[in-house]
Structure 1
């Protein structure tokens, strides 16, 4: 018994010493390094956001040139060229709506270039105001949001019924068209310059995100959270604004349903607009833009929850496909009267994307 007690005491002493050594090792061990997502933030900033804004500014400059040529020599060919330029300018803008953060928001560039429905009363008022003998860019810039920007230009190019002829333009309408195009070019150039390194360098807020940053984001997580929040905003706008209001109206503003509330109804570009908005979500999530393929938020989600990544990837694709399938090859305008179930199916798919962003993706990023 005496021998047993001695062994017991020995093992107890040994165990205590081992615990102390172990605790000492833990205390001396460095804390695990925080995983950096700088490569993801850099790719989204430099290769998606800045690139999309650069493409937008370039296409808007081309649109101005095409409207000038149409004004100088009106013909069906020059009108079609101006229409094609409008559609080409629209694409990078709609694919940039997944990141309506920074100067596009604080500088009121978004409403200045993309407000709808068009205020035809104010447009007609300017056209009839002969105290302004020439309609210039400076005059258009002073107009309310709904009397300038993409949709005013769209209305002038296509007309109310989408079939305007080249010989139907008055001299004042041609002046307004060119001045509005110049204003759009100036706004989009301003947006690009606000982001690039040799301009306002807003991109630096993202590129330097972290504790040592003197910019907006004191952590990479806060920058990523803002990017995901912007994806939620555009998903909500498409599902509960761009689709919902023309489909069912808006009781909060007593806005009635109908094609008058459709975003790009004169050009029948609405379905493409909505699909490009979802592609903007897809781009930021996957780190892609046109032919570029880099790192995106998907790389974080895939590492943390592979099943969620697979699910969300499929949801985005399903939403894009459902939008493109609205009314088959027909227009969104016609679908409002004749193919409502196809619109409702697309809306459900977009709302599913929004729900996953809100309930799964955003909390995962916030938990980093």
Structure 2
């Protein structure tokens, strides 16, 4: 009710982005730019949800590192765009395979489509940039399809590890081990609450540097974090959107077994959401605001609460 539905919806959305960027290149109108921007933000939101559960195929294949690295290397980007005319294929997409990860993920497309929190003017986007964005979108589609297939296809789909806990065909020997991977693993819920505290908020705030800000051109840095926390909620409460079933969730188990820890985790999730929401927007102008420190503390408390839940199990 969480991982496959969100992955499937994201896969559909990145495919839509590729189609829209193709159309934008062929029919250079502001309306097509605006539609591409809208689809990009929808895909971006879904991807931020997945950061609460990047265990398995995403982690094994370094997909997040490949399509979601930042900050961008603007020198590499500019050099490649300046020399990119010879690497454009018959579909109008630029070949970006040989580039570093910092310039061939979501943030590269963001840089093409947005400036200072606004959709770019069609007259400011060059044909080469359009080809570049198109090539990156194709790369993201290919990379994320590895995640979707890894969970569900092949001789050893990763989902089987959860269906067969304790059996020889599962990497998890106990329910607690599986729960630990989900809740406090580096690629699980605590992994993203830590990343928010130490990287997404902590790097700009503690180093007082604009350079470390994620999503600086669309001005959606705070929204990214809100979706990260919603991903944790999906895991904890038993599902995404209208598929949620709290009767089959960590929430339901802890309500029965230890209501104090249940309340500790859920209060920590809610408090992290509240403190992040209080950060003045846009983050690019407020990354050194004292409220960022409060949000960092709230995310650290969330990590500690999730660790206590696993300790109890």
Give the one of 318, 322, 329 matched to 2:275: 322
The residue aligned with 2:192 is 234
Structure 1 residues not aligned, in runs of 5+: 1-46, 250-256
* Distance in 1 between residues matched to 2:115 and 2:218, nearest whole Å: 9
The residue aligned with 1:220 is 175
The residue aligned with 1:333 is 284
**Normalised TM-score (structure 1):** 0.79
Q: Is the 8 A contact 1:235 1:351 kept in 2?
A: yes
**Normalised TM-score (structure 2):** 0.92
Shift of 1:172: 1.1
Does 1:171 find its partner at 2:119?
Answer: no
The residue aligned with 2:312 is 364
Q: Is the 8 A contact 1:278 1:320 kept in 2?
A: yes
* Distance in 1 between residues matched to 2:155 and 2:220, nearest whole Å: 32
Give the one of 147, 151, 173 matched to 1:195: 151
Give the one of 100, 103, 108 matched to 2:57: 103
Does 1:75 find its partner at 2:34?
Answer: no
Change in CA separation of 1:131 and 1:162 when aligned onto 2, cut-off 3 Å: closer
Q: Deviations over 1:35-62 (max 9, x none)?
A: xxxxxxxxxxxx1112211111111101
Higher RCO (CA < 8 A, seq sep 6+): 2
Q: Is the 8 A contact 2:200 2:213 kept in 1?
A: yes
SS of the residue 2:2 aligns to = helix
Structure 2 residues not aligned, in runs of 5+: none
Q: Is the 8 A contact 1:301 1:364 kept in 2?
A: no
The residue aligned with 2:297 is 348
Shift of 1:163: 5.3
The residue aligned with 2:45 is 91
User: Who wins on radius of gyration, i.e. which is larger?
Assistant: 1
SS of the residue 2:28 aligns to = coil
- Number of equivalenced pairs: 306
Change in CA separation of 1:163 and 1:53 when aligned onto 2, cut-off 3 Å: closer
* Distance in 1 between residues matched to 2:85 and 2:39, nearest whole Å: 31
The residue aligned with 1:271 is 222
Which residues of 2 match residues 1-368 of structure 1 at below 5 A? 47-129=1-83, 132-134=86-88, 139-159=95-115, 162=118, 164-197=120-153, 201-210=157-166, 212-229=167-184, 230-249=188-207, 257-294=208-245, 295-327=248-280, 330-336=281-287, 340-358=289-307, 360-365=308-313
Q: Is the 8 A contact 2:94 2:132 kept in 1?
A: no
Shift of 1:259: 2.1
Calculate the aligned-residue CA RMSD, in Å: 1.9
* Distance in 1 between residues matched to 2:242 and 2:117, nearest whole Å: 36
Shift of 1:245: 0.4
Shift of 1:108: 1.0
SS of the residue 1:139 aligns to = coil
Q: Deviations over 1:245-281 (max 9, x none)?
A: 01112xxxxxxx3222111111011111101111111
Change in CA separation of 1:138 and 1:107 when aligned onto 2, cut-off 3 Å: farther
Shift of 1:147: 0.9
Shift of 1:335: 1.6
